Structure 1
Amino acid sequence: MELDEDSMRLIDQFGVSLIDPDEIKNTKVNEITFFRRGVIFGHQGLDLIIKAINEKKPWAVMSGIKPSGSFHIGSFMTASEIIALQKIGARAYYCIADIESWEDNGITFEESINDTVDNLADVLALGLDIKRAYIWRQSEEDIVKKTPYIISKFITTNMMKGIYGDKSFGMYMANLVQVGDILLPQIKDEPMPTIVPVGIDQAPHLRLTRDLTKKYSEKFFLPAASFHFLLAGLDGSPKMSKRYPNSYFTFNEPIKSIKKKIMNAFTGGRDTVQEQREKGGIPEICMVLKLEYFLFVEDDKYIADCYKKCKAGELLCGDHKNKCVEIVTKFIEEHKKKKEKLIDTAREILNL
């Protein structure tokens, strides 16, 4: 996988370090598929996390979801990273960004409740351990609502425009609330290294948060971040987007719809079966393989075999799609059963 020009610009501009596979090879984080496969390609402050793990000291992972629709592939990636980090020792902190949902999408707090419960049930079904997690709604958490007032004395309107562009004042406030989200583990509990899994497009926001952290408290650790590649659209569009319905699927979609989208996914196949057998496919651009590589297959041997057989012309796109459909739909069906049993638990956690 290669980084595009915009990503490289953000890496250079905001001081993101690329991850060297050799440097993490013998660490606990390398047990996580996203790190081992290079899906997470960059970081800020990962050394603090590794040090805390090695010294058996407290550390945290913080992220969340904007309750503006059904749980989708992008939500799945971030939630999976949080759960994987929790499994190797992190305290998990999960935010329901309903203030952002209001400012960005015009969804009131009351209107977002159904998605809030539904989204959280999805995360619980994926395996988040609620005994070692703190979960909050922005609109109900005093810590994050107070933070903008504490840190705003260090910020000017021009600074916010420089980072986020010309936005409404409400969006600027929502971004400062997110600073509170990231600092919450240290404000609420104790100073400790905290990692935030994000896409590279969030590098400017992490820079702002890191710049403001020491102004909030000299005792705090600078928040760390891991940066992951973003999946392109299943249909070959540059990114997954609601504007392109065939570019992604949600976990609430009918299985038939998910199957259809995978069967129509963009691949690196040749024009004819004969040509593919003779020349081999181009797995590097195949969205079916990327869907498995990023999210749905943990078996490295399976991924390597698919890549090799595609290159050799031994694996045809139709056969690969059928196998991927089998893997994904089985996962989604089992997930839905688990989720259904956890709706009430999600409501209890959120006091809804």
Structure 2
Amino acid sequence: MTEPTQEMGDMSIKDDKMEAVEEDDIVNPWEVATSSAKGVDYDKLIKRFGSTKIDDALLQRIEKLTGKPVHHLLRRGKFFSQRDMHMILDLYEQKKPFYLYTGRGPSSDSMHMGHLIPFIFTKWLQDTFDVPLVIQLTDDEKYLWKDLTLEQANHMAFENAKDIIACGFDIEKTFIFSDLDFISNSPAFYRNMCRVQKLVTYNQVKGIFGFGDSDCIGKISFPAIQASPSFSSSFPEIFNGRSDIPCLIPCAIDQDPYFRMTRDVAPRMNHLKPALIHSTFFPALQGAQTKMSASDSSSSIFVTDSDKQIKDKINKYAFSGGGATVEEHKEKGGNCDVDVAFQYLTFFMEDDDRLEEIKKTYSSGELLTGFLKKELIEILQKLVGEHRQRRADLTDDVVRQFMTPRKLKYDFPPPTPPSDKKKKKKQKNSKAV
């Protein structure tokens, strides 16, 4: 197998390895670390990964085609990078179908706010473009990487499905699946896994993901599992056996290595390359240099936290960009670039004017840290409270319905047999003559 080309902005494996050594920021599917208090340098990351920055022209095109303002996470650059988004918009303009695919690696019974970001945005995409959505729960991955039993990982997947459904997804448009439950009953999915596995060498997965000789063989074969939902032929119940329905993947930028690999093998499988739209990282309460962890309850706000827990965590742990004293703060002002409470507001406060006013008054020193945190606490208490109630109202039967392979509300004509394609081509050629 030759190295992936840079066609369509895809980075070669060789280049990715070399750049990773030179950069201060560490970004891969299992580790994100930076030495900067402001967080990861996303402009450098775009160059390193070979993706394309989302610009004003793309945002304007989305608004023009949909007739709706873009989501605040998009216009504020929280989703900042893309691959082939214009191709997806071309399809929408031509009234041709595509579908969404995103996922979650369940590592705890409850998701935190950082986990919710891709799903909040994915729901907007689904509502705006009215398209099918598949959500992969990689409980097999967590079993391979974490000290968990298969049963524990599978249980966490079911619990995380509740958190995801509580974001408001439409059951008629959405299929959620656990790898451990679904793959063994899906010949079409398994066949695509095998096709990917045959096209990627051991040296290449080592180059892309940094696997070592001591890693179990399950880790080495896992990327093919995450790649397979990118192909509509993996879901014959939804797409009626069609292999030509394009896919758009909203995900955090650390997941991009999986899909650079996928985009390389897709043409040789006679499949379409998936398009992607990447998000930035959601900072831990302690600041951008620390990592949120599902096992550390103080590092983030969880969707199961009570109002009191939210208030206490923000007041106690949220890193402040304000002055050490009130006098110093009023004199020098606060630093919004490193202040976690303000950064959280950029994700969850929808009102642009109010956010700009807060930035101005906090930077000048007029607004104190305590009042800034109070504003965030009120927003998160409302958001988490509503989510918590929707989750509580869910029954296990509804979750199982979401996770049952089935036809969704969309109709896809069956694929044209090869003989019919030749006949149509012959008829077209005769007409041209």
Per the TM superposition, whether the score is higher than 0.5 is: yes
SS in 1 for 2:250: strand
1:19 aligns with 2:54: yes
Alpha-carbon distance between aligned partners in 1 of 2:221 and 2:371, rounded to the nearest angstrom? 50
Aligned to 1:269: 322
> In the aligned structure 2, how far is the partner of 1:13 from the partner of 1:275?
40
Structure 1 residues 87, 195: closer, same or farther in 2, change over 3 A?
Answer: same
- Aligned with residue 222 of structure 1, among 273, 278, 286: 273
Cα deviation, 1:220-246, whole Å, max 9, x if unaligned, reads 321011111102211124332346542
Q: Of residues 99, 124, 127 in structure 2, which corresponds to 1:87?
A: 127
Once the two structures are TM-superposed, the CA of residue 156 in structure 1 deviates from its matched residue by 1.2
2: CA distance, partners of 1:116 / 1:186? 20
Residue by residue over 1:11-63, the C-alpha shift from the partner in whole angstroms, topping out at 9 and shown as x without a partner, is 33432111112332242485122211111111111111221222222121111
Aligned to 2:284: 233
What is the rounded CA distance, in whole Å, between the counterparts of 2:193 and 2:386 in structure 1?
A: 41
1:76 deviation in Å? Answer: 0.3
Post-superposition shift, 1:175? 1.3
Tell me which moved more, 322-331 or 249-258.
249-258
Give the secondary structure class of the aligned counterpart of 1:62.
strand
2:375 is matched with: 323
Seq. identity, %: 28
Identify if the C-alpha distance between structure 1 residues 341 and 187 changes in structure 2 by more than 3 Å, giving closer, same or farther: closer
Counterpart residue identity of residue 79, structure 1: F
Match of 2:248, as an amino acid?
A: I
CA offset digits 1:89-116 (Å, max 9, x no partner): 1321111212212212243443234322
- 2:191 paired residue number: 146
Letter aligned with residue 205 of structure 2: M
Q: How far is the alpha carbon of 1:180 from its aligned partner?
A: 0.8
Aligned partner of 2:302 in structure 1 is: 250
Between structure 1 and structure 2, the one with the greater Rg is 2
CA change 1:134–1:245 in 2 (3 A) is closer
Q: Secondary structure at the match of 1:126?
A: coil
Any residues of structure 2 matched to 1:128-139 within 5 Å, and which?
A: 128-139=169-180
Partner of 2:98 in structure 1?
59
Q: Give, as a single letter, the amino acid of the residue that structure 2 aligns with 1:88.
A: T
Q: Give, in whole Å, the separation in 1 of the partners of 2:254 and 2:105.
A: 16
Contact 2:292–2:300 under 8 Å retained in 1: yes
| Greater alpha carbon shift after TM alignment, 284-293 vs 114-123 | 114-123
Distance 1:206 1:145 in 2: 18
2:146 corresponds to which of 98, 105, 110: 105
**Root-mean-square deviation over aligned CA pairs:** 2.3
Secondary structure at the residue paired with 1:87?
helix
Give the TM-score, by structure 2 length.
0.75
Cα distance in 1 for partners of 2:77, 2:252 equals: 13
Is it true that 1:178 corresponds to 2:178 in the alignment? no
| Alignment pair present for 1:160 and 2:205 | yes
The residue aligned with 1:118 is 159
Counterpart CA distance in 2 for 1:211 and 1:288 is: 40
Displacement of 1:321 in angstroms is: 0.7
Choose from 259, 269, 290 the match for 2:343: 290
Does residue 335 (structure 1) correspond to residue 387 (structure 2)? The answer is yes
The unaligned stretches of length 5 or more in structure 1 are none
Structure 2 letter corresponding to 1:183: F
- Counterpart of 2:114? 74
Q: How far has the Cα of 1:8 moved from its partner? A: 4.9
Q: Which of 83, 87, 98 is the matching residue for 1:48? A: 87
Letter in 2 for 1:42: S
Number of corresponding residues = 347
Distance 1:84 1:186, change over 3 A: farther
Correspondence for 1:208: 261
Distance verdict in 2 for CA 1:348–1:110, change over 3 Å: farther
Do the aligned partners of 1:118 and 1:343 also contact (CA within 8 Å) in 2? no
SS of aligned partner of 1:71: coil
TM-score scaled by length of structure 1: 0.91
Match of 2:402 among 328, 349, 352: 349
Deviation at 1:185, TM superposition (A): 6.5
Q: What is the rounded CA distance, in whole Å, between the counterparts of 1:4 and 1:96 in structure 2?
A: 26
Cα separation, 2, equivalents of 1:273 and 1:116 = 46
The answer to whether 1:310 aligns with 2:362 is yes
Question: Does the residue aligned with 1:110 lie in a helix, a strand or coil?
Answer: helix
CA contact (8 A) 1:95 1:135 kept: yes
For 1:103-146, what per-residue CA distance to the aligned partner results, in whole angstroms no more than 9, with x for missing partners?
Answer: 12243443234322221122221111111112222122323333
Distance 2:392 2:233 in 1: 29
Structure 2 unpaired stretches of 5+:
1-36, 405-433
1:209 deviation in Å?
0.6
